[in-house]
Amino acid sequence: MGEACAHHRHDTGLGPADVSAALGDAEARCVRRGERMTGPRRRVLELLLASGEPVKAYDLIAAYGADGQAAKPPTVYRALEFLERLGLAHRIASISAYVACSHGERAHAAAFLICDCCGAAVEVSPPAAAGLSGPAEQNGYVLERVTIEGHGLCADCRAG
Ligand SMILES: [Zn+2]
Ligand SMILES: [Zn+2]
Ligand SMILES: [Zn+2]
């Protein structure tokens, strides 16, 4: 949901069938973890999956109601917190946006290639993140989350 530049093809989101498949997987993950996929958690994840791009919290709040009703902000923020905790979504701090995780259940450091022109973000597996665990241990830290954010131009915008 970037401020659309002319270069970007907005076809990164999942279609309805893939969204419901992904929601089913997410629900199964909740059950395995002894958590509940409540209505708000499900709806926020659905919006992220359908977008396929980083989405700002206020856009989620605005798009929340199928009937065009905005959500109460705390509802959306609590849902995002939960999705992040379960690894179903990631927060990309440098652009204050959220994105559905595309890398499955295995615990992983998230790394994003972020386009500064169209706002697209691709989640990639960073070899660099593993390198933090040694120094963390030496400094007595237990790492809970690692997110690497790389900024630049995507292929579409470079071709622009
Ligand atoms: Zn991920
Ligand atoms: Zn771009
Ligand atoms: Zn662009």
Ligand approaching nearest to the C-alpha of 88: 1
Write down the pLDDT at residue 96.
Answer: 95
Near ion ligand 1, which residues have CB within 5 Å? Answer: 101, 103, 110
Write down the pLDDT at residue 130.
Answer: 65
Identify the weakest region by mean pLDDT among 2-6, 90-94, 137-141, 149-153. Answer: 2-6
Write down the pLDDT at residue 10.
Answer: 65
Higher-pLDDT residue of 2 and 15 is 15
Q: Position of tokens 């120094």?
A: 135
Q: CATH classification of 16-159, choosing from 3.30.420.40, 3.40.50.10470, 1.10.10.10, 1.50.10.20?
A: 1.10.10.10
Residue partners of 48: CB distance under 8 A and separation at least 6 = 55, 60, 83, 89, 98, 99, 100
> Please, which pLDDT band fits residue 2 given cuts at 50, 70 and 90?
very low
Q: For strand 110-115 and strand 147-152, is the pairing parallel, antiparallel, or unpaired?
A: parallel
Ligand approaching nearest to the C-alpha of 148: 1
Write down the pLDDT at residue 132.
Answer: 83
Residue partners of 84: CB distance under 8 A and separation at least 6 = 90, 91, 98
Q: How far is the CA of 11 from the centre of ligand 2 (A)?
A: 13
Can you give the pTM of this predicted structure?
Answer: 0.87
Q: How far is the CA of 45 from the centre of ligand 1 (A)?
A: 13
Ligand approaching nearest to the C-alpha of 129: 1
Ligand approaching nearest to the C-alpha of 153: 2
**What is the average per-residue pLDDT within 128-135?**
76
Neighbours of 52 (CB within 10 A): 20
Q: How far is the CA of 125 from the centre of ligand 3 (A)?
A: 24
Write down the pLDDT at residue 1.
Answer: 42
Q: Can you give the residue ranges of every domain in the chain? A: 16-159
